[in-house]
Chain A
């Protein structure tokens, strides 16, 4: 089956009110080309589930998000996302489910395994428990009788991820050192869309890295989208690191009236080739070193 499609095709498969999971972690390997396509679209009232970075900030600033399920929102080398902060501090983003990072993983895993919940201690005795009234506890049926958090399945209508390579059948390869939770986002979702730096013939892809880099098998993927530098301004190591200079431009847009609209005009309302030129071109982005923490 040929699963190749365009970012526009992806948006055509989504609808208002959907729950959408976004792979990656903070400012690392976010499917930003797809996120920019969401910003350009008419979609609204989305519930976003993420280990958040500029994906969350940008979608909040664009008014696309009616509910946010998150463990954090950070640009990593810049600790806080200015647009997310603005949305929270203005009171426009009250409908949130703030979770422990591990609870978020657990919710995705429960959905992936078609379980109603998975037990954990994370969240107990904190305001994660008290501020999310939908969270319930469960008592161990065994001798210990321990009371645990019953982390509910986080079922996604769609998942968006970005990886290094895919073949046209939907096998996906991650060459960076951390797969984050992209496979879980895909396994928890009804529809799974994966952008990649390059679509390769299967044999060429598997030759490009160790077999462990083949993180996504094709049962986890419905659509593959070729999007070179599609994670920019987040990283897709080893090909390119986090573009801190661009994230500063992005962040500054939150500080002034109409700043985000200007940002959208300059960097979102343009096609991918123009975007790459606007952020300095392939040579410049490709030379951004991997981040050092």
Chain B
């Protein structure tokens, strides 16, 4: 693991801390971090500033402390409840959840695609299908982690809108767009939200050494920026200790960004 120049943490650790920030203030809801970095982010939020968050094990139990990813050794998950898939749907349609995942494509309005690439009738690449993303995204807050910020991921138009966003053309009169919220998008370059004009994407902080122009260059659509755009806050000493000694004892975070 190589630290960012002038810092005592790596890019992966910075991203995990920024993912954790997305869950700040969420209270007693299920924090679903899909994939390693969002999962560690949700766990870090729980062990620091959002202790009331609920976590699950990816199967059907709620756990009262984050399970370290990778080999568990003698670690026993601390079960606090039962959450089979049928209860997950009830919980998320009721809005008591915040999900963070890694979409294959994302547009300016936060519409995400995890289903396929290319022509939906004969895709170039068939991916998972929409899974629960349509119901998630319209019912509770969503955030994203994108490890490869580039024009193939942040696209002008996604090939299949799997999750709702703020595109006004998609919302017909009478549909309820008040229950959805796109919170944060953490990438390898910056942190963004949807506070730009008409809820379009906006850069709210830049990772160390990254300029706004670099982020814009890697994005297929124009980006707004927050007034007084500054550097993404890194993990403090206590967060780093928790991350390294408790949350990710197998150091799987070292695999997120391959070393050159």
Contacts and interface: CB of A to CB of B under 8 A. Distances in A.
A, B co-complexed: yes
Interface of A: 25, 52, 70-74, 79-80, 84-85, 88-91, 94, 98-103, 105, 120-128, 130-131, 137, 139, 145-147, 177-181, 291-293
B162 A120 contact: no
A101 B131 CA distance: 5
A12 to B, nearest CB: 32
B222 interface: no
B129 A98 contact: yes
Given A105-B89, A125-B172, 7 more contacts: A73-B129, A85-B125, A101-B131, A102-B132, A103-B135, A131-B120, A147-B174
A21 to B, nearest CB: 16
Contacts of A179: 84, 86
B93 interface: yes
B126 A100 contact: no
B180 to A, nearest CB: 9
B140 to A, nearest CB: 11
Interface stretch (B42-50, B56-64, B223-231): B56-64
A177 to B, nearest CB: 5
A101 B133 CA distance: 8
A145 B176 CA distance: 10
A181 B121 CA distance: 28
A84 B127 CA distance: 10
A101 B132 contact: yes
A180 B85 contact: yes
A131 B120 CA distance: 9
A293 to B, nearest CB: 3
A88 B122 CA distance: 6
B31 interface: no
A122 B85 contact: no
A127 B89 contact: no
Contacts of A73: 128-129
Interface residues of B, number: 50
Interface stretch (B6-14, B18-26, B163-171, B209-217): B163-171
A213 B221 CA distance: 52
25 contacts: A25-B85, A80-B126, A80-B128, A88-B126, A100-B131, A100-B135, A101-B135, A102-B89, A103-B135, A121-B138, A121-B175, A122-B135, A122-B138, A124-B164, A125-B171, A126-B133, A126-B162, A126-B164, A127-B115, A127-B130, A128-B134, A147-B173, A178-B85, A179-B84, A292-B72
Contacts of A291: 59
Given A71-B132, A88-B122, A101 B176 contact: no
A293 B61 CA distance: 11
Contact of A120 (B120, B135, B172): B135
Nearest to B82: A177
A105 B132 CA distance: 11
B139 interface: yes
B179 interface: yes
B129 A124 contact: no
B124 interface: yes
A98 B174 contact: no
Nearest to A68: B129
Interface string B108-152: 000100011000111111111111111101110000000000000
B94 to A, nearest CB: 11
B161 interface: yes
B127 A121 contact: no
Given A72-B128, A91-B122, A127-B120, A145 B174 contact: yes
Given A101-B89, A131-B160, A178-B84, A125 B175 contact: yes
Contact of B162 (A88, A121, A127): A127
Contacts of B57: 293
Contacts of B86: 105, 179-181
Contacts of A102: 89, 92-93, 132, 135
B177 interface: yes
Given A125-B164, A125-B177, A100 B132 contact: yes
